[in-house]
Structure 1
Amino acid sequence: MDEGSFYSIDRLVEFGLSMAVATQMANSMNIGLQSMVTPGADNAMLPGEQPVWYAVLDGSATGPLSLAELSRLIAEKRVTKETYVWKPGMPNWRLAEDLPEVLRLVALAPPPVPEG
C-alpha cells in the first residue's frame, strides 16, 4: 500500500485523531451554547407550564397570577412600571419596569379605547 494513500495506517490514525479533536470541540461549543443566557429571552417552558407571578397591589401581595391575569391587570392600569412583582426563583421583589418579561406584556397590552 502506498504511504500517501488514504488507507495507510498513518493517514487512518491522523484521520481518527482529527475526528476525535473535532468531536471534542463541537461538544464543548454545544455545552457553552446551552448554558448561555440571552438577555430578554425566555427559557423554554414545558408544555402547559405557566409562569406564576405575584404583584404588590394596594400594599399587599396578590397572586399567584398567570400571564393572562398579569396582562389583564396591566391593561387595567392596576400594574404599572412602579409596581413591585415577583416570581419563584427571584431573590427579591423588583419593579415591573426592570423585568423584560413584564415589559413584554406591557408592549402587548392594547392602548386605551378612544372616546367618542
Structure 2
Amino acid sequence: MDNYSFFSIDRLVEFGMGMAVAQQMIKTMNQSMISMYVPGATNQMEKSQQQFFYAIIETKQAGPFSEQELARLIAEKKIVKETYVWMPSLSSWKMADQVPEVLKLVALAPPPFNPNP
C-alpha cells in the first residue's frame, strides 16, 4: 500500500487522534453547558423535577398543582389570564399571562367545542 491510501497506518492514526480530540471537545462542551446558570431557565441537559404551581382561585391561595392539574383548571376556566400564579422559580406572584410555563399550558388546551359553527 502507498502512503496516500486511506488504510495506511498514518491515516488510521490521524483518524483515531481526530476522534479522540472530538470526543474530548464534546465532553468539555457538555460539562460547561451543564454548569451554566441562567436565572429563570431550566437546564435541558438534566432531568428536571416536576414543576408545581400555586394559584389564587376565588380569592384564596390554592395548590400545589401539577402541570396536568393546572391544565385541567385552565380548561375549566378556573384559571384565566388575570389569575395570579406562583412557582418556585418566580420571585413574586404574577398574572398567568406573564408566566411562560402557564402560557404553554394555555396554548395546549383545546378550544371550546361549538357544535353549530
Q: TM-score range by the shorter chain?
A: 0.5 to 0.7
* One-letter code aligned to 1:59: T
TM-score by length of 1: 0.63
More displaced stretch, 51-60 vs 87-96: 87-96
Listed one character per residue, the Cα deviations across residues 87-116 of structure 1 (whole Å, up to 9, x for unaligned) are 124221011111111100000000001134
Q: Counterpart of 1:61?
A: 61
Please provide the CA RMSD for this pair: 3.2
Shift of 1:45: 3.5
* One-letter code aligned to 1:91: S
In structure 1, runs of 5+ residues without a counterpart are: 1-22
* One-letter code aligned to 1:105: L
Alpha carbons 1:51, 1:66 under 8 Å: kept: yes
Q: Counterpart of 2:78?
A: 78
Flag the 1:93–1:38 CA change in 2: closer, same or farther, 3 A: closer
In structure 2, runs of 5+ residues without a counterpart are: 1-23
Q: Which runs of 4+ in 1 moved over 4 A?
A: 25-32, 38-44
Q: What is the number of residues matched between the two proteins?
A: 95
Q: Counterpart of 1:14?
A: none
TM-score by length of 2: 0.62
Q: Counterpart of 1:50?
A: 50
Q: Secondary structure at the match of 1:56?
A: strand
Shift of 1:33: 3.4
Alpha carbons 1:40, 1:101 under 8 Å: kept: no
Identity %: 43
